[in-house]
């Protein structure tokens, strides 16, 4: 099984706040890796390192490396815009842009200077089908995306991310703001998407991590406690803390 | 029980006082509007819009055509100067400079600048644009008006853009969008109706200004729209006509006041309607 990314001795600082401490873990290609842990443990901070979202704010500092294709993506010479093209991100709350459904999905494509209408149409349809939302929106592609339901918006956002054909999609608690049926649809979708992309998902939902992920990493106050395949984490973890966390006795 | 009674009385007194104050304010506003309406409509003639000023002793001749056009031109030039500066300045404060202390200071100063008396701004424009040139000129008037609308537009733009959730920007960044694209295609688009309303209200604020024009573009009785000279102004004309001893001039001042009041009222109502429509979404 191939590692797409490897996080090596990663430290991260928000100013003086040491938010990630010496984190080392692999991310397997075409698998789902879940990051779990109590609030404030650093799982979202780690997730946001992969697409360097932290670069947007002053005084943030990385130390260590995340290797992809033989290159440290945290390096200064890395083009962040290119990096983000290959690292899609889906947020907790749906983030449809204030434009039509079609323009939402075409947004990333147009950023890449794809202007040809038939190419755009083709790619938008493909992405919407991949995100299992095509049937619901195909007759209203020109309507404002903010009129869709929350679950549809989230799948639209996934389609928007898929349209630019990323290698990785980062899910930041992307089902926690949705109703159970919508969230189940997103879960099923994530499992289907494994064929095409590698998925890293932050979740508070233990059952969800157990159901969908191939690998699970438990974090606690900025450090990685345990990383293993999901079955091991949930049935015979090596650390007592892991066992207590996944069984709900602490968290 | 006693305590409850006391609180009820205090509540009643406070409510009565507040209502009374509101009533006085509203009553004054309505008296002004009523006066302008009655006197204005009574003196309204078509020639107000079709003829240029004539000497006061000629009955049934003369209007304020050039003053309407001049006022419009000054407001237009002021908007051309002030709107882009204001929108871009507000954008800087809300986006690129949002972490800088100096930008917080600029925001606060802009809030204060909104309440600078307009005559002070008129004096400033006089000092930098009239005195050196030696003549009253339209540019000075337009610049004075632009200075008045600038802080209003800066602040509304900043506020409207700050209200756009950060998650939306991050979502665009996550797709590999550069910052300028995020601003133009996401933030401006989300904040558009608010910014537009701010611009409208700012223009409404200066459309009826007299003081900043008194020492700058002054006034002219001729049909002349050359900004290098004094430009006819409706508000300054109203000021001069209303203070004149001639009955037909005073009447014309009422009529012009009526027209400009309706115009400003219309701009304001339009602004509020847009805000209301936006809130309903």
The Cα–Cα gap between B4 and B13 comes to 14
The answer to whether B175 contacts A58, with C-beta atoms less than 8 Å apart, is no
Q: Residue B95 has what pLDDT?
A: 94
Burial of B14: CB neighbours in 10 Å, binned 0-12, 13-18, 19+: exposed
pLDDT tens digit sequence for B110-137: 999 999 999 999 999 999 999 999 999 9
Q: Does B166 touch chain A (CB under 8 A)?
A: no
pLDDT at residue number B281: 57
Contact at CB, B189 and A85, closer than 8 angstroms: no
Residues of chain A contacting B101 with CB distance shorter than 8 Å: none
Is-contact B160 B254, C-beta < 8 A? no
Q: Which residues are CB-contacts of A60 (< 8 A; sequence separation ≥ 6)? A: A12, A13, A14, A15, A54
Does A222 touch chain B if contact means CB atoms closer than 8 Å?
Answer: no
pLDDT digits (tens, 9 = 90+) for B23-49: 999 999 999 999 999 999 998 999 999
Instruction: Look up residue B124 and give its two tokens.
Output: 């400033």
Q: How many Å apart are CA A233 and CA B99, to the nearest integer? A: 42
Q: What is the pLDDT of residues A53-102, one digit of tens each?
A: 999 988 899 999 999 998 999 998 999 999 999 999 999 999 999 999 99
**Under 8 Å between Cβ of A102 and A124:** yes
| CA angle (A236 as vertex; A232, A239 as ends), nearest 5 | 100
A167 close contact with B: CB closer than 8 A: no
| Chain A nearest CA to B160, separation (Å) | 15
Please name the residue ranges forming H helices in chain B: 2-43, 47-50, 65-94, 101-114, 118-125, 138-162, 166-174, 179-181, 188-207, 211-214, 234-242, 247-280
Provide the terminal-to-terminal Cα distance of chain B, rounded to the nearest Å.
Answer: 46
Calculate mean pLDDT across residues A24-50. Answer: 94
Alpha-carbon span B64 to B43, nearest angstrom: 13
What pLDDT is recorded for position B280? 63
**Yes or no, beta carbons of B176 and A111 under 8 Å apart:** yes
**ipTM given for this complex:** 0.91
Partners of A104 on chain B (C-beta within 8 Å) are: none
The sheet carrying A87-90 orders its strands as A87-90, A168-172, A198-202, A32-36, A215-220, A223-229
Contact A239, A232 (CB under 8 A): no
DSSP for B105-134, please give it.
HHHHHHHHHHTS-HHHHHHHHIIIIITTTS
CA distances from B42 to A231, B38, B57, B60, B250 (A): 89, 6, 20, 14, 12
Mean pLDDT to the nearest integer, A42-52:
94
pLDDT at site B272? 85
Quote the pLDDT of residue A183.
87
The DSSP result for A113-181, as a single string, is T---HHHHHHHHHHHHHHTT-HHHHGGGTTSBGGGS-HHHHHHHHHHHHHHT--SEEEEESTTTTS-HH
Q: What average pLDDT values come out for chain B (281 residues) when binned by 10 residues?
A: 88 95 95 92 90 85 91 95 97 93 94 93 95 93 96 96 94 94 94 91 91 92 90 93 91 93 90 78 57
Q: Where are the alpha helices (DSSP H) in B44-64?
A: 47-50
Is there a contact between B167 and A53 if contact means CB atoms under 8 Å apart? Answer: no
pLDDT at residue B274, as a whole number: 83
What pLDDT is recorded for position B56?
A: 84
Contact B175 A93 (CB under 8 A): no
Place of tokens 């294709």: A69
Nearest residue on chain A to B100, alpha-carbon basis: A58
Whether the CB of A143 is below 8 Å from some CB of chain B: the reply is no
Tell me the pLDDT tens digit for each residue of A148-166.
Answer: 999 999 999 999 999 999 9
Helix (H) or strand (E) holding A238: none
pTM of the model as a whole? 0.84
Task: List Cβ neighbours of A91 (8 Å cut-off, separation of 6 or more).
Answer: A157, A172, A174, B167, B170, B171
Strand partners, A168: A87, A198
Record the tokens describing residue B176, joined without a space.
């590999």
Q: How many CB pairs under 8 A join A and B?
A: 62
Among B168, B176, B189, select the one facing A84 at the smallest CB separation.
B176
**Mean pLDDT score of chain B, rounded to an integer?**
92
Its sign, for the CA torsion B87, B93, B96, B98, is negative
């Amino acid at each position: 099984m191939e590692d797409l990314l490897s996080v090596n001795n990663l430290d991260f600082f928000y100013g003086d706040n040491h938010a990630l401490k010496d984190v080392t873990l692999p991310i397997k290609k075409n698998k789902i890796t879940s990051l779990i842990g109590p609030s404030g443990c650093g799982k979202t901070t780690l997730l946001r390192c992969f697409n360097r979202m932290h670069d947007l704010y002053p005084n943030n500092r990385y130390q260590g490396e995340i290797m992809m294709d033989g290159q440290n993506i945290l390096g200064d010479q890395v083009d962040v815009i290119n990096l983000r093209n290959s690292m899609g991100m889906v947020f907790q709350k749906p983030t449809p842009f204030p434009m039509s459904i079609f323009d939402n999905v075409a947004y990333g494509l147009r950023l890449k200077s794809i202007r040809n209408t038939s190419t755009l149409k083709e790619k938008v349809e493909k992405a919407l089908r991949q995100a299992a939302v095509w049937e619901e929106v195909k007759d209203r592609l020109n309507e404002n995306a903010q009129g869709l339901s929350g679950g549809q918006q989230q799948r639209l956002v996934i389609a928007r991310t898929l349209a630019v054909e990323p290698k990785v999609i980062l899910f930041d608690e992307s089902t926690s703001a949705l109703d159970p049926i919508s969230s189940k649809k997103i879960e099923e979708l994530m499992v289907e998407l494994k064929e095409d992309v590698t998925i890293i998902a932050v979740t508070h939902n233990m059952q969800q991590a157990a159901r969908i992920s191939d690998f699970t990493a438990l974090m606690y106050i900025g450090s990685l406690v345990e990383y293993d395949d999901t079955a091991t984490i949930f049935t015979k973890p090596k650390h007592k803390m892991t066992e207590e966390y996944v069984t709900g006795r602490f968290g | 029980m006693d305590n409850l009674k006391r609180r009820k009385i205090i509540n009643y007194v406070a409510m009565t006082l507040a209502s009374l104050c509101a009533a006085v304010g509203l009553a004054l506003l309505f008296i002004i509007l009523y006066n302008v309406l009655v006197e204005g409509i009574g003196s309204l003639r078509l020639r107000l819009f079709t003829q240029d000023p004539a000497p006061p002793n000629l009955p049934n001749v003369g209007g304020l055509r050039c003053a309407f056009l001049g006022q419009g031109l000054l407001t237009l030039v002021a908007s051309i100067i002030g709107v882009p500066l204001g929108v871009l300045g507000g954008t800087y404060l809300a986006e690129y400079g949002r972490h800088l202390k100096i930008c917080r200071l600029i925001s606060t100063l802009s809030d204060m600048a909104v309440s600078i008396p307009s005559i002070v701004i008129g004096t400033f424009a006089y000092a930098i644009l009239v005195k050196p040139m030696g003549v009253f000129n339209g540019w000075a008037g337009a610049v004075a008006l632009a200075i008045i609308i600038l802080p209003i537009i800066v602040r509304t733009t900043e506020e409207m853009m700050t209200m756009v959730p950060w998650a939306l920007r991050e979502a665009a960044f996550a797709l590999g969008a550069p910052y300028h694209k995020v601003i133009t295609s996401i933030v401006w688009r989300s904040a558009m109706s608010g910014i537009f309303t701010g611009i409208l209200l700012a223009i409404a604020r200066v459309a009826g200004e007299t003081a900043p024009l008194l020492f700058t573009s002054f006034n002219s009785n001729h049909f002349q729209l050359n900004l290098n000279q004094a430009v006819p102004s409706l508000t300054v004309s109203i000021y001069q006509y209303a203070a004149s001893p001639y009955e037909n001039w005073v009447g014309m001042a009422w009529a012009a006041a009526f027209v400009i009041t309706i115009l400003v009222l219309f701009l304001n109502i339009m602004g509020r309607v847009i805000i209301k429509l936006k809130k309903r979404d």
